[in-house]
Amino acid sequence: MGKPTRVTNRIRALRFAAREMTQAELADKLGVTRQTVIAIEQGRYSPSLEMAFQIAQVFEVPLDDVFQYPKGE
């Protein structure tokens, strides 16, 4: 089974840049389970637009610094 989403993300890199924030810490800030953070990081789950903005706000970066989508396909 391939990845269910073509959206990629830099959450892992952003976590490490943010003083090595753990997945549990990010989950607490977002009010979601740690498993959901793991699923998003691994591209197994595409979050809602609202959660995507919340993630970007946690790292204080624009949305497209967190999530990317392949062009022209």
Binding site for other proteins (CB under 8 A): 1, 3-5, 24, 28, 30-33, 35-36, 39, 42-45, 47-48, 51
C-alpha 9/C-alpha 66 separation (Å) is 5
Q: In angstroms, what is the minimal distance from the CB of 10 to other proteins?
A: 19
Burial class (CB in 10 A: 0-12, 13-18, 19+), 1: exposed
Q: In angstroms, what is the minimal distance from the CB of 57 to other proteins?
A: 16
Looking at beta carbons only, is 10 or 45 nearer to other proteins?
45
Looking at beta carbons only, is 4 or 17 nearer to other proteins?
4
